[in-house]
Amino acid sequence: MCRMAPRIALWLALLSGLLMGADPEPARPPSADDDAIAPQHTEPLPVVVVVPLGNVDPALVKFVADSLTRRFFFDVRLHEPVPHPEAAWYAPRKRWRAEKILDALDHLDVGDAWRIVAITEQPISTTKGPVYDWGIAGLGSMGGKSCVFTSYLFRKLKKKEPDTYQRYMDNLVIHEMGHTLGLDHCPLERCIMADAKGNAIRAAKASINEFCPRCHRLIRAHLRATDVQGFWNRSELLLLDSIP
């Protein structure tokens, strides 16, 4: 029997956990104290405006703004609450149509805003394939100006499991923002850009709330973290390599 060096032992422990099917620990979002934080930009930052739709908990609005500020080089500003657009109301299911919300946001007077991020606590939906009214957690315009998301699907966790609630909301905020930056859905379920596939809670639970190496590279110019965050195993990296 020999005593392994601490570094070798750590890597073997990680490999053992992956082979045994253990779930990796969720990676935490980067903070200002991390070594892998890029230097502050000297040029004016893109302005991102957070717009509450209807009556939204101010603490939730602040949480959204903080999530964006922590991850991206953005000048995040808060807008006063605005009503849900009347054209977006879908009476048969008592939900708000997300694509119509995005249309209204694109025409909202928000000054020099580069992107608009809208948050609601009401249920939202959109059309997916043959399903006209598909309930969703969020919708982002691919490479476009606006995104919208709701806390509605996670509402039961807010008091019962506040830490989980915040992690799921952080995942949702950054995911939809990623779409506006041009990111499509990622094939890695642990990536923050993974497709929810109709189950936002399952997807948020599987995610480590970080961009995989490929997604990180594609939007690197906007990210505060210089390095990829989280641990990505060999099979995941091989899958990313197979993407054209």
In the chain, which ranges are E strands?
47-52, 75-78, 89-90, 95-97, 115-120, 124-128, 131-136, 138-140, 146-150
pLDDT, position 156:
96
pLDDT, position 12:
40
CATH number among 3.10.520.10, 3.90.850.10, 3.40.390.10, 3.40.50.10800, domain 36-241: 3.40.390.10
Convert the pLDDT of each residue in 172-200 to its tens digit: 999 999 999 999 999 999 999 999 999 99
Convert the pLDDT of each residue in 91-131 to its tens digit: 999 999 999 999 999 999 999 899 999 999 999 999 999 99
Question: What's the predicted TM-score (pTM) here?
Answer: 0.83
pLDDT, position 244:
82
Kindly list the domain boundaries of the chain, sorted by start residue.
Answer: 36-241
Starting at the edge strand found earlier in the chain, the sheet holding 146-150 runs 75-78, 47-52, 115-120, 146-150, 138-140
